[in-house]
């Protein structure tokens, strides 16, 4: 089995996220020993951001890193785990809200595909980009 980033690359719909990971030099962090859960927005999700948001993030590595780490949860959190929790702490330091009343959503962003397994964790494909509260109004 491949590691998280190799698995994401093989999926084919996460190239924007992977480019951002490279720009922030987070590959070694995301491929480290131990288990992580990545909530990865599709390429389409990035195109739905307000105009200029992605370019602005790509120019500000500090903000971009915060956004990317907001998509990382420590541990191996699979779909059955998501169905039982209401929130989860992220590697960015904030907490994301998990709702399972109508499918699974994270901060009101729908989870499209769950349990894409990798050697060092699991990936869940999401339809939107999660923004930490401290950056949500500053894009």
Condensed to tens digits (0 to 9), the pLDDT of residues 39-91 reads: 999 999 999 999 999 999 999 999 999 999 999 999 999 999 999 999 999 99
Range of the domain at 25: 4-130
138 domain residue, yes or no: no
Tell me if 128 sits within 8 A of 102, measured CB to CB.
Answer: no
Contacts of 55 (CB under 8 A, 6+ apart): none
139 domain residue, yes or no: no
Alpha-carbon gap, residue 29 to 27, rounded angstroms: 5
Tell me if 53 sits within 8 A of 82, measured CB to CB.
Answer: no
User: What's the predicted TM-score (pTM) here?
Assistant: 0.94
Q: How many domains does the chain have?
A: 1
Strands 109-118 vs 121-126: parallel, antiparallel or unpaired: antiparallel
Specify the residue for token string 């399972």.
100
What is the CATH number for 54? Answer: 2.30.180.10
pLDDT band at 138 (very low <50, low <70, confident <90, very high): very low
């Amino acid at each position: 089995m491949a590691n998280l980033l190799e698995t994401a690359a093989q999926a084919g719909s996460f190239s924007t996220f992977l480019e951002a990971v490279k720009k922030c030099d987070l590959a070694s962090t995301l491929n480290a020993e131990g288990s992580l859960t990545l909530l990865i927005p599709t390429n389409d999700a990035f195109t739905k951001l307000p105009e200029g948001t992605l370019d602005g993030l790509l120019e500000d590595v500090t903000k971009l890193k915060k956004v990317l780490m907001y998509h990382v949860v420590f541990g191996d959190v699979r779909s059955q785990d998501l169905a039982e929790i209401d929130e989860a702490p992220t590697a960015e330091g904030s907490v994301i809200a998990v709702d399972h009343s109508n499918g699974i959503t994270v901060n009101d962003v729908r989870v499209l595909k769950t349990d894409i397994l990798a050697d060092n964790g699991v990936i869940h494909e999401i339809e939107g980009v999660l923004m930490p509260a401290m950056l949500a109004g500053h894009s």
